[in-house]
Copies of this chain bind each other. A is one copy, B any other.
Amino acid sequence: MQIASRLITYNAHSRENPPQITVAAGEEFMAQTELCTGSWLHSLADTWSPEKTNALNPTVCVGVADAHPGDILAVHIREIIPDALGYTGFNDQKNPLAGRIKARTWGLNVKTVAITAEGIRWNNQLSLPVRPMIGTLGTAPAGEARSNAWGGLHGGNMDVQEIRAGTTVYLPVFVEGALLHIGDVHALQGDGEINCSGGIECRAEVRLSADLIRQARPLRCVRAEDSESLMTIACGRGLTRTFQTATGELLDWICRDYGIPVNDAYLLLGQVMQARCTQFVNPTRSYICKIPKRYLPLRSSPQPMTP
């Protein structure tokens, strides 16, 4: 299995980033992801402080052979194995949300934790569940590079818990080879990710594969799917707009691929749509909208998303 090592990472999704490996459609590969703040964490005694940050949400870069602009990359997340060490923390100088909520000086607050098969050791009394997810996953944009702090139509720093093992994420291909960027795994994350620099940030080994959907209809935001649900994820500055974009894309999806008339589909979403803003601290916020598949007719087309 080809491995994209964390020894080479990037701080932006860019068409200029040479991929470390190039895989064929359907080929399983491994991405070794780095911590969101770089390579400083090596023992339980290491704790984060701002000057230790030596990278901005670093990602590895993987090429997909024969991916062309206009295709959609269907990224299948097979497994996420978090490292045994993780951390979280916030700093009132760097965290607008904390300051606004409490209007007080928090100072620097950090925590380094052991991640085991039994859970995340929060303290002597409390163990938290391990629910690993990929915080940053996206393709290279056609034009200028996008910072790894940002999310958008290309994916990027979405910070959505549903981007986990068992999920397929549909991303537009803008450049030859797609240039899939992967990083920022969290062993656990709450909605809002209010600590700013994190959920339980950790390195990870992620097994993935990617299929290509040729000449697909353009997406207005990222789509994703697991055995339970269809999901759409919109990232942007304004919450109302991201909610509307994600809702609109979910509506289009269930109308076109499941043959539900648009007005009926909208009425149905009013009853059963699930929606959350999972990210309330980045420059771009992420809204995920979901519909459980059990409310949908059997899919009429075996090849979704094609014209």
On A, residues with C-beta under 8 Å from B are 88-90, 97-98, 100-102, 106-107, 109, 111, 120, 122, 125-126, 128, 188-195, 198-200, 239-240, 243-244, 247-248, 251, 262-263, 266-277, 280, 289, 295, 297
Contacts and interface: CB of A to CB of B under 8 A. Distances in A.
Contact of A271 (B97, B188, B240): B188
Nearest to A272: B190
B200 A271 contact: yes
A212 B41 CA distance: 50
Given A188-B272, A273-B194, A248 B199 contact: no
Given A239-B240, A266-B106, A271 B100 contact: no
Number of identical protomers: 2
B190 A101 contact: no
Nearest to A95: B266
A194 B89 contact: no
B126 A271 contact: no
Contact of A267 (B88, B247, B268, B269): B88
B109 A263 contact: yes
B270 A101 contact: no
A130 B244 CA distance: 26
B277 A277 contact: yes
B90 A267 contact: yes
A269 B90 contact: no
Max chain B CB contacts within 10 Å: which of A88, A98, A109, A270?
Answer: A270
Top-10 shortest CB links A-B:
A195-B270, A190-B273, A191-B275, A101-B248, A239-B239, A109-B263, A194-B270, A101-B244, A276-B276, A188-B271
A190 to B, nearest CB: 4
A128 B272 contact: yes
B190 A270 contact: yes
B101 A191 contact: no
A294 B211 CA distance: 40
12 contacts: A90-B270, A101-B244, A101-B251, A102-B248, A102-B262, A106-B263, A109-B267, A120-B271, A122-B271, A190-B272, A200-B271, A243-B280
Given A98-B266, A101-B244, A109-B267, A275 B192 contact: yes
Given A263-B106, A276-B276, A295-B128, A88 B188 contact: no
A89 B267 contact: yes
A234 B276 CA distance: 15
Nearest to A262: B102
Contact of A269 (B190, B266, B277): B190
B192 A266 contact: no
A189 B295 CA distance: 14
A154 to B, nearest CB: 22
A199 B271 contact: yes
Nearest to A110: B267
B88 A270 contact: yes
